[in-house]
Amino acid sequence: MTAATETPHLPDPSPIVLEKVEVRSWKVPIALSVFALGAVVLFIAFARSGHTTFRFTQSVDAIKLPDLTVPSAPVSIALAIVAVLMAAASWWYVAARGRVPGWFAAVFAVVFLVGFLDWAAEGDRPLPFTSLLLGAVTLSVPLVFGALGGVIGERAGVVNVAIEGQLLAGAFCSALVASSTGSMTAGLVAAAAAGVLVAFILAAFAIKYLVDQVIVGVVINVLVTGLTNFGYSKVLAADPEHLNRRMTLPDLPIPGLAQIPVIGPVLFDHSIIVYIAYVAVAAVWYGLFHTRWGLRVRAVGEHPQAADTVGINVNGTRFWNVSLAGAVAGLGGAFFTLGSVGIFTKEMTAGQGYIALAAVIFGRWDPIRATLAALLFGFASNLQNTLGIIGSPVPSEFLLMLPYLVTIFAVAGLVGKSRAPAADGVPYVKG
């Protein structure tokens, strides 16, 4: 990434410079070693004597699976040893083949995670595995919407730091409209419309007036915070009889699929907005990589001059796709109100938009990867909730810190080779 940052992309008169493909990067082995060391310290030096119980079934489920009880210390120690061996193997991979395969890092992550759960959940109370995953999916829904909004915007070449503002505006307007009209569908539409309005501001300033996009994004977030706080105090709180009543979307279990143990309740027993998220992920992925629309979006984000030369209206494409991104992110805002707690409270998005932005980057500007990153962040924060309930030796603050630390790790090391769309954040001036 450093090499790329030195060379400005657009005015480069020289022909295409081929990058070196075989770069021996020691970042992954270093990262894995750090985690393996952590595993050794936690699982062996602070080994816990009792048993850990994993519970896979909720009381309401039709098909019941038995609890799994294992002795904590032997399992976590064994997994720590596996982690150490895998870290060592990653050094060998880099030395011998130049890089560590992706599946290897994924397996390492699973080993570390299972070891950690085994270690942290030791005690009499079982670890509710299903609700741990269920909560992870639920908490990541707004992140998924926000990340998709971010991916669309950035693929079109406009950095979308205003995701936070779009989520917040969506949450406010969905609560306002749903409670005043009594229709939750209207609330969802209003959320998307609010996101589009915020996106219009971003698009106007970033595309027409060429203001630095990160600056506009940050300022829009402050503006929306001010507007929604103001609106909450003067409009919503002023008329509690009619406005901001508690309204939540009903759960719609998918027949058949919802009865599958573990997977069913985790994935197929949700309100409509979660299913919309599933569809949106697939649609954005398919659209971006398999349709004419996606090709155009990526063209204006990678090389606007080339796109302009073949007759694509660069700024028009950017404008409408930033608006589309706003609609997606705004819809995610409705999850905070209609999808979960049912009412709007001040600053209820609490920085989730920034985490969605991190998911975009962690996910390398790819809708599927960004969704996985969002799920990871959702999992980390729900892990904190779950361990807080069953009691664990890890202070909750450190678990809350985890997604952020992982992101820093990711941007510093693991995704170091990933690149933003080349013209991301660069306004296009024709001529």
Partner 1 sequence: MSEATEARTPEERTPEASVPAPAEPGRGQNLLREIMGGSLVISVLAVLIALVVGAVLIAVTDPAVQQASGYFFARPSDTFQAIWNAVGGAYTSLFQGAIYNTGKTDFASGIQPLMNTLSAATPLIFGGLGIALAFRIGLFNIGGQGQILIAGAFAGWVAWSFPMPFPLGLIVAVLAGIVGGAVWAGIVGWLKARTGAHEVIVTIMLNYVAFELISFLLRTPGALQAPGTNNPKSPAIPAAAQLPGLFGVRYTVTWAFVLAVAAAFAYWWLMSRSSLGFRFRAVGENPSAARTAGIGVERMYVYGMAIAGGFVGLAGVNQVLAAAPGGFSSGFDAGLGFDAITVALLGRSRPAGVFAAGLLFGALKSGGYLMQAANDVPVDIVLIVQSIIVLFIAAPPLVRAIFRLPTPGTAPKARRRPAVKEAHGQ
Question: At closest approach, how far in Å is the CB of 87 from partner 1?
Answer: 19
Residues near 370 by Cβ (< 8 Å), separated by ≥ 6? 144, 147, 148, 150, 151, 359, 360, 362, 363, 364
Name which of 89 and 211 has its Cβ closer to partner 1.
Answer: 211
Nearer to partner 1, 184 or 358 (CB): 358
Buried-state track 18-53, b at ≥16 Cβ within 10 A, e below 16 = eeeeeeeeebbbebbbebbeebbebbeeeebeebbb
Choose between 50 and 393: whose C-beta lies nearer to partner 1.
Answer: 393
* Phi, psi for residue 70 in degrees, rounded to 5: -130, 150
Nearer to partner 1, 196 or 274 (CB): 196
The three-point CA angle 300-421-407 to 5° equals 145
Judged on CB neighbours under 10 Å (0-12, 13-18, 19+), 118 is buried
Angle at which helices 367-390 and 272-290 pack, to 10 degrees? 150
The closest alpha carbon to 40, from 92, 71, 90, 82, belongs to: 82
Helix (H) or strand (E) holding 352: helix 352-362
The distance of closest approach from Cβ of residue 238 to partner 1 in the complex, given in angstroms and rounded to an integer, is: 8
- Helix axis angle for 292-302 and 129-155, nearest 10°, is 70
Shortest CB 129 distance to partner 1, Å = 25
Contact footprint for partner 1 (CB under 8 A): 1-2, 4-11, 27, 154, 159, 161, 201, 205, 209-216, 218-223, 225-227, 229-230, 233-235, 351, 354, 357-358, 361, 395, 397-398, 400-401, 404-405, 407-408, 411-413, 416, 419-420, 422, 424-427, 429, 431
Residue 2 or 59: the one with the smaller Cβ distance to partner 1 is 2
Give the tokens for residue 136: 């992870």
Least distance to partner 1 from the beta carbon of 424, Å? 5
Q: CB 73 → partner 1: shortest distance, Å?
A: 26
Tell the smallest beta-carbon distance from residue 408 to partner 1 (Å): 5
Which residue's CB is nearer to partner 1, number 293 or number 404? 404
Write down the least CB distance from residue 8 to partner 1, Å. 4
Nearer to partner 1, 159 or 190 (CB): 159
Quick one: tokens of 130?
């299903």
68-71 and 51-55 strand pairing: antiparallel
Nearer to partner 1, 63 or 350 (CB): 350
Considering beta carbons, is residue 84 or 402 the nearer one to partner 1?
Answer: 402
CA pair distance 372, 358, nearest whole angstrom: 12
Residue with tokens 């609490």: 350
> Are 393 and 127 contacting, i.e. CB atoms less than 8 angstroms apart?
no
Give the shortest CB-348-to-partner 1 separation in angstroms. 14
Compute the least distance from the CB of residue 401 to partner 1, in Å.
Answer: 4
User: Please, what is the minimum distance in Å from the beta carbon of residue 102 to partner 1?
Assistant: 19
Rounded Cα gap, residues 166 and 172, in angstroms: 10
CA distances from 242 to 175, 178, 245, 247, 337 (A): 11, 10, 7, 12, 16
The residue among 69 and 305 lying less far from partner 1, judged by its C-beta, is 305
**Residue 229 or residue 313: which is nearer to partner 1 going by CB?**
229
**Tell me, what amino acid is at 160?**
N
Min separation Cβ 233 and partner 1, Å = 4
